[in-house]
C-alpha cells in the first residue's frame, strides 16, 4: 500500500500531466515521454543517493560540483591520455567515491557539520574542475559507442534509463532491505540512541556520502555522454534539484524517516514540471523566446515548490501531533473501567 504522502504526490503528477497535455503540444507523445527522462535522469540519480544522506540527518551540497570535477577528469583521461571511455568512466566513479570519502572523513571522523563541510567541498570540487580546464577548456569528440549511452535507445527506452533502473533497484534494496539502510533511519532519528544500540554511527553515515559521491560520478559520465562534451560547469545547481525531489518525496529534512519510492515520485514530479513548462508555447506566458523563459520559470517554481513542500510537511506534522494529543486526552479523561 502506498503511504498517504505518496498518494498525494501521485495526484500532483496526474494534475501536471493533464495540465501540460492540455497546454502544450505533443506532451504525451512517446518521443517526449522518453525525452523527459533522458534529460533529467542525472537529477534522478542524485536524488536517489541524496535520500540516504538526508535520512541520516545530513546533507550533501557538493554533489553538483562533484559532477563537474568527475566530468572534467573523465574528459581529460579520454582526450589527453587516450584511456578508453569505459575505463575512464570507472575512474570517474571511483573519483566520486573518493571525494565522497573526503566528505565522510571530515563529517564522521572530525565530527564537523555536514552542511559546512559540503559547502567547502562544493567550492573546492568546482574550483578544481575549473583549474583543470583553465577556466574555459572543454573536451569533446568522444567515440560514438560511448555517446550512445546518452543518446541511443535500448529495447525502446533511452539507454541511460536502464542504468537508472538498475541504480534505483540497488539503492532501494540498500535503503529498505539491508541492516545498513535500517541503521541510517535509526541514526537520523536519534544518533546517540543508535550508538547505544550498537550501531557504528560514523561508518554507516560515512558510507552514505561515499555512495552519493560514486553515483554523482556516474551521473557525470551519463551527462557527458548525452551532451558529447565535458566542461567544468556541468551539474551546477543539480544538488538543489535533488534535494527538492527528496523533500517533495516526503523524506524528513531532519532525518530519520523517508523512502526511495517517495524520492522517485518527487523526481518524476520535478522532471515533468521542467519538461512541461518548456513545451508551453511562448506567447502563452510572455512575449519572449520560450527557451530562456522556461528555464528560469521552472527554476523559480522548483524553489517555490520546495518551500511549499517544506512548510506543508511541518504543518501536517504539527496537526498530527495535535490530533494525537487530543486523542490521548480523550482516553485519559474517559478511563476504561478499572479491574
Partner 1 sequence: MKKYSREWSVAAAFGLLMLSLLIVAPHFFHWQPLLSRVTSQMPAMVVALGVALVIISRQIDISIGAQFSMCAVIAGLVAASGLPLGVAILAAIACGALMGALNGLLVAYLGLPSIVVTLATMVTWQEALRLWQQGRLLNLPEGIQWFGQSQAQGQAIVIGATALLLILLSWLMKNIAVGRAIYAVGSDAEAARLAGINPQRTTFGVFVSMGVLAALAAVMNLVQSPQIQPSCGDGMELKAIAAAVVGGIAIRGGRGTLWGVLPGLLLLANVNPALTHFHQPPYWEKAIQGLVIILAVVADGWNQKKQSKNG
User: What's the burial of 94, exposed, middle or buried (CB within 10 Å: 0-12/13-18/19+)?
Assistant: middle
Interaction between residue 135 and partner 1 (CB under 8 A): yes
Three-class SS state of 62: coil
When the beta carbons of 100 and 150 are compared against partner 1, the nearer one is 100
When the beta carbons of 38 and 126 are compared against partner 1, the nearer one is 126
Angle, CA of 137, 138 and 144, to the nearest 5°: 155
When the beta carbons of 174 and 280 are compared against partner 1, the nearer one is 280
What is the per-residue binding string for partner 1 in 207-246, x denoting contact by CB under 8 A? ------------------------------x--x--xx--
Q: How far is the CB of 320 from partner 1 (least distance, A)?
A: 15
Q: Which three cell numbers stand for residue 277?
A: 513548462
Q: Which stretch binds partner 1 (CB under 8 A): 113-121, 151-159, 179-187, 192-200?
A: 113-121
Q: Which long-range contacts (CB under 8 A, 24 or more apart) does 192-201 make?
A: 201/108
Give 19-34 as a DSSP string: HHHHHSSSTTSHHHHH
Please identify which residue in 67, 106, 159, 187 interacts with partner 1, judged by CB under 8 A: 106
Please identify which residue in 119, 147, 170, 190 interacts with partner 1, judged by CB under 8 A: 119
Q: How many angstroms separate the CA atoms of 283 and 302, rounded?
A: 22
Please identify which residue in 60, 88, 130, 210 interacts with partner 1, judged by CB under 8 A: 130
Interaction between residue 143 and partner 1 (CB under 8 A): no
Helices (H), 39-178: 41-55, 63-81, 85-104, 114-132, 144-151, 159-176
Q: Which stretch binds partner 1 (CB under 8 A): 76-84, 117-125, 187-195, 200-208?
A: 117-125
| HEC letters along 295-339 | HHHHHHHHHHHHHHHHHHHHHHHHHHHHHHHHHHHHHHHCCCCCC
Residues that bind partner 1 (CB under 8 A): 59, 106, 110-113, 115-117, 119-128, 130-131, 134-135, 237, 240, 243-244, 247, 253-254, 288, 292-293, 296-297, 299-300, 302-304, 306-307, 310-311, 314-315
Amino acid at each position: 500500500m502506498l503511504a498517504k504522502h505518496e498518494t498525494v504526490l501521485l495526484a500532483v503528477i496526474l494534475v501536471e500531466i493533464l495540465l501540460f497535455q492540455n497546454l502544450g503540444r505533443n506532451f504525451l507523445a512517446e518521443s517526449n515521454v522518453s525525452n523527459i527522462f533522458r534529460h533529467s535522469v542525472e537529477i534522478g540519480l542524485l536524488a536517489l543517493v541524496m535520500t540516504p544522506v538526508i535520512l541520516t540527518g545530513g546533507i550533501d551540497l557538493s554533489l553538483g560540483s562533484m559532477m563537474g570535477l568527475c566530468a572534467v577528469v573523465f574528459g581529460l583521461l579520454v582526450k589527453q591520455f587516450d584511456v578508453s571511455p569505459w575505463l575512464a568512466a570507472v575512474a570517474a566513479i571511483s573519483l566520486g567515491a573518493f571525494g565522497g570519502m573526503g566528505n565522510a572523513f571530515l563529517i564522521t571522523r572530525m565530527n564537523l557539520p555536514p552542511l559546512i563541510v559540503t559547502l567547502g567541498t562544493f567550492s573546492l570540487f568546482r574550483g578544481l574542475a575549473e583549474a583543470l580546464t583553465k577556466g574555459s577548456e572543454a573536451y569533446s569528440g568522444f567515440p560514438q559507442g560511448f555517446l550512445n549511452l546518452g543518446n541511443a535507445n535500448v529495447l525502446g527506452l533511452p539507454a541511460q534509463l536502464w542504468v537508472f533502473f538498475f541504480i534505483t533497484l540497488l539503492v532501494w534494496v540498500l535503503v529498505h532491505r539491508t541492516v545498513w539502510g535500517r541503521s541510517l533511519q535509526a541514526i537520523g532519528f536519534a544518533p546517540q540512541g543508535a550508538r547505544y544500540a550498537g550501531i557504528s554511527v560514523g561508518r554507516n553515515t560515512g558510507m552514505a556520502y561515499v555512495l552519493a559521491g560514486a553515483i554523482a560520478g556516474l551521473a557525470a559520465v551519463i551527462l557527458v555522454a548525452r551532451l558529447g562534451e565535458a566542461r567544468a560547469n556541468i551539474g551546477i545547481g543539480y544538488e538543489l534539484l535533488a534535494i527538492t525531489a527528496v523533500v517533495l518525496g516526503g523524506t524528513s529534512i531532519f532525518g530519520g524517516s523517508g523512502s526511495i519510492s517517495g524520492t522517485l515520485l518527487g523526481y518524476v514530479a520535478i522532471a515533468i514540471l521542467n519538461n512541461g513548462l518548456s513545451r508551453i508555447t511562448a506567447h502563452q506566458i510572455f512575449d519572449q523566446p520560450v527557451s530562456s523563459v522556461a528555464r528560469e520559470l521552472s527554476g523559480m517554481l522548483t524553489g517555490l515548490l520546495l518551500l511549499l513542500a517544506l512548510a506543508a510537511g511541518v504543518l501536517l506534522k504539527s496537526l498530527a501531533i495535535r490530533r494525537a494529543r487530543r486523542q490521548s486526552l480523550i482516553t485519559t479523561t474517559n478511563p476504561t473501567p478499572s479491574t
